[in-house]
Amino acid sequence: MENKVKNAGTARLEVAGRTVDLPVYSGTHGPNVIDIRKLYAETDHFTLDPGFTSTGSCESQITFIDGDEGILLHRGYPIEQLAEKSNYLELCYLLLNGELPSKTQFDTFSNEVRNHTLLHTQQDKFFEGFRRDSHPMAMLTGAVGGMAAFYPGAMGNEDPEERRISSIRLISKMPTIAARCMKYNLGQRFVDPQNKLSYSENFLNMCFSVTAEDYEINPILARAMDRFFMLHADHEQNASTSTVRLVASSGAHPFAAIAAGVASLWGPSHGGANEAALRQLREIGSLDKVPEFVKMAKDKSSGIRLMGFGHRVYKNYDPRAKVMQKTCYEVLDALDLHDHPLLKVAMELERIALQDEYFIEKKLYPNVDFYSGIILEAMGFPTKMFTVLFAVARTVGWIAQLSEMLEDPTQKIGRPRQIYTGAAMRDYAPITHR
């Protein structure tokens, strides 16, 4: 990766009687940054920014979000255009390589992905160690980490070709592993990939087909699945992507880093919100309960938040949520579920929240997770599989960001500092003197 920041002057800081001029850089879009790399050396001060609300961790050329305008670009292309005109595998190529593929490049890439869908047979035995009712995110975290045992050579992150093959293996095998998590929960036989099917068709077939009968893939659902994958592919330095970067910065096995990303995504504040949002809609249950629920979500002492609402970066409507809402209508139409009860509750929740002073003042809008649960529920996925599907989609983003970090000439092992407020230095007291 070639660093492309441009000089944009300096920022002068006066602290503890010292004055330091810190370089300011500008990028293609978004706020300028103040480079504080030398701050400690020149002022004996750290910065403090819990949650990294004002702190950039890296230079990146993959994805850009404008939270105020509700803009999401992947390598410069707006998500709305990609969702309408592209497909998930083409987006994978774009995120990994920086440009949209030619027909030949796309065919080569698709065939490579298609030819790595099978798992080592020993990996199937891995699942047998889990209880049947294990949460699929627990199984996914274990299975992805376990992949490092099958590809020890991938540890050689220096070799770009090794990294490229690892990318292909992960993109290709995640749907197979995810579908196995679902089948294991259901107590059904694993279904192997069929390489004649498209990426999304293959995934639906591995999840829903059973040996007892033929499974006919609904093209509208396959397109909806593909669009779901596209909308979740990458999203700047979110919690799970930052986790992957931090783990990989030590030189750890890339599959172990991706497993750490899966673990981070699981949380209900992050990727786990789609499962939590659907459970919440089900808990509300009917339109008449919505006002009371919104009241509780505004009352901090209730400990309740409106899941699928709010975002660290978007202070406007999440552009992915708009596409997800449109896809939701398409799926419900295709399944003749127009009056899906949870959709009515979701739409009423959205209507009330968007008019309510609390949500307006705090700039809380529906995010990518608000409508996705309804789509997945309508497609027949068990609720606890929702975040697994998010992880399948986000794998390419994690890999692209991990590779970009390894190719960044300024890359170092991540090691944040702190402000210490614990006990002052003191001598050990023998137990007889305590």
Matching residue, tokens 């939701």: 328
Q: Are strands 77-78 and 63-66 parallel, antiparallel or unpaired?
A: unpaired
Q: How far apart are CA 255 and CA 150, in angstroms?
A: 10
**Minimum CB distance to ligand SDX smaller for 104 or for 355:** 355
Of the candidates 253, 270, 311, 318, the residue annotated as catalytic is: 311
Cα–Cα distances (Å) from 348 to 168, 289, 356, in that order, read 42, 10, 12
89 binds ligand SDX (CB under 6 A): no
Cα–Cα distances (Å) from 48 to 184, 237, 415, in that order, read 45, 18, 14
Sign of the CA dihedral with 348 first, then 319, 219, and 377 last? negative
**Residues 305, 324, 374, 377: which binds ligand SDX (CB under 6 A)?**
305
Matching residue, tokens 């093209």: 219
176 binds ligand SDX (CB under 6 A): no
**Minimum CB distance to ligand SDX smaller for 141 or for 367:** 367
Count of residues interacting with ligand SDX (CB under 6 A): 23
Active site residue 311: yes
| Spatial CB neighbours of 253, under 8 Å, sequence gap ≥ 6 | 148, 152, 154, 155
Q: How far apart are CA 176 and CA 306, in angstroms?
A: 32
312 binds ligand SDX (CB under 6 A): yes
H-helix or E-strand spanning residue 19: strand 18-26
Query: Which range binds ligand SDX by CB under 6 A, 70-78, 85-93, 252-260, 311-319?
Result: 311-319
H-helix or E-strand spanning residue 150: helix 136-150
**Minimum CB distance to ligand SDX smaller for 169 or for 270:** 270
Active site residue 369: yes
273 binds ligand SDX (CB under 6 A): yes
**Residues 163, 235, 245, 384: which binds ligand SDX (CB under 6 A)?**
235
- Residues 333-372, one symbol each (x = binds ligand SDX by CB under 6 A, - = not), give -----------------------------x-x--xxx---
In the complex, the smallest distance separating the C-beta of residue 272 from ligand SDX, rounded to whole angstroms, is 8
Cα–Cα distances (Å) from 416 to 321, 386, 419, in that order, read 33, 32, 11
238 binds ligand SDX (CB under 6 A): yes
Active site residues: 311, 369
Q: Which residues in this chain contact ligand SDX in the complex, by CB under 6 A? A: 51, 235, 238, 269-271, 273, 297, 300, 305-313, 362, 364, 367-369
